Amino acid sequence: AKQPVRVLVTGAAGQIGYALVPMIARGVMLGPDQPVILHMLDIPPAAESLNGVKMELIDSAFPLLKGVIATTDVEEACKDVNIAVMVGGFPRKEGMERKDVMSKNVSIYKSQASALEKCAAKDVKVLVVANPANTNALILKEFAPSIPDKNITCLTRLDHNRALGQISERTGFQVSDVKNVIIWGNHSSTQYPDVNHAVVITPKGEKPVREVVNDDEWLNGPFITTVQQRGAAIIKARKLSSALSAASSACDHIRDWVLGTPKGTWVSMGVLSDGSYKVPKGVIYSFPVTCANGEWSIVQGLLIDGFSRTKLDATADELIEEKEMAYSCL
């Protein structure tokens, strides 16, 4: 039998946490034959609620779940974890300046980075979900220098999946037959959902999304804004932000990273830029990646046209600005 994998979820008493922990315990993240031990962290005001989540996990009698730790102690939560999904953060409240939210999250990510550095498994894989996700991941990287840069990522898979969903809805093809969209850049409204290399698997073979959709005006306009603004549309409809889709996408992100992407398929992940596609180095930027043997690599050699170039640069500019703002909060 396989040894259990220890998975940390921070902010586990929150909305996404509540959707995510049962998925992990059912094997959605790491596979149906991989036992797990869940480490759940939240802050003291949420301790009672966190304990309620633990009670429900016990009551679910998940066969793969070999243990549950629910704690408000960061170091206890991080102890020996192999996977860390960072969902906890400080939300933007009405009337708050961006800088104030940034400052709160910088201090959270700085201290949680130190705890991971000190207590987690040396090869821990980290996924930051909490916003501003790219910049929180960058701060985490800065303050956990012994964790390899390649092991620190942020979530843009939800945006990627939203793009697949929109193409599927528009064309009538199954979402599982649409692949290789790309989310470039920041997990924010400046992200660039790019379909220039995306394909649909049709009964007559793979066809470019542009050919199947056959409406560049829609692809260059409403498609992009719908994906960029989807989070706001969910809030409007549900009066709450995306939770089950965020949790599901976080599972997709880790599963593909650990178990590999299917041949001929790439996904989007926020990773440290190495300068590929003339993206400035030193920001966490969403790229198309393939994964094998537990490592991601940026897909190389894709053609970037003028329209795309402007959009890749605009979202990079925003990330540089966020980075400067974050550093000014340190």
The residues of the shown chain that bind ligand NAX, judged by CB under 6 A, are: 10-11, 13-17, 41-43, 46, 87-91, 108, 129-131, 133, 155, 158, 187, 231, 241-243, 246
CB of 50 to ligand NAX, least distance (A): 8
Extended strands (E) in 152-266: 152-154, 178-179, 182-184, 192-194, 199-202, 205-208
CB of 252 to ligand NAX, least distance (A): 11
- Report the C-alpha gap between 120 and 146 in whole angstroms: 11
CB of 270 to ligand NAX, least distance (A): 8
Distances (CA, A) of 276 to 157, 281, 286, 289, 304: 19, 8, 11, 12, 12
- Report the C-alpha gap between 129 and 272 in whole angstroms: 15
CB of 18 to ligand NAX, least distance (A): 8
Whether 293 has a binding-site annotation, put simply, is no
Distance of CA 68 to the CA centre of its chain: 23
Whether 17 has a binding-site annotation, put simply, is yes
Q: Which is nearer to ligand NAX, 120 or 212 (CB)?
A: 120
Whether 131 has a binding-site annotation, put simply, is yes
Distances (CA, A) of 289 to 140, 184, 256, 265: 21, 11, 10, 9
Whether 228 has a binding-site annotation, put simply, is no
Whether 13 has a binding-site annotation, put simply, is yes
Catalytic residue, candidates 160, 187, 197, 253: 187
Q: Which is nearer to ligand NAX, 10 or 226 (CB)?
A: 10
Distant-in-sequence, close-in-space partners of 198: CB < 8 Å, separation ≥ 6: 167, 178, 179, 180, 181, 182, 208, 209
CB of 299 to ligand NAX, least distance (A): 21
Q: Which is nearer to ligand NAX, 74 or 299 (CB)?
A: 74
- Report the C-alpha gap between 209 and 206 in whole angstroms: 9
Q: Which is nearer to ligand NAX, 201 or 234 (CB)?
A: 234
Assess whether 253 carries a catalytic annotation.
Answer: no
Whether 130 has a binding-site annotation, put simply, is yes
Q: Which is nearer to ligand NAX, 46 or 269 (CB)?
A: 46
Closest residue by beta carbon to ligand NAX: 14
The amino acid at residue 59 is D
CA angle 86, 138, 125 (to 5 degrees): 45
Q: Is 156 in contact with 269 (CB distance < 8 Å)?
A: yes
Annotated binding site for substrate: 92, 98, 131, 162
Catalytic residue numbers, as ranges: 187
Residue list, annotated binding site for NAD(+): 11-17, 42, 105, 129-131
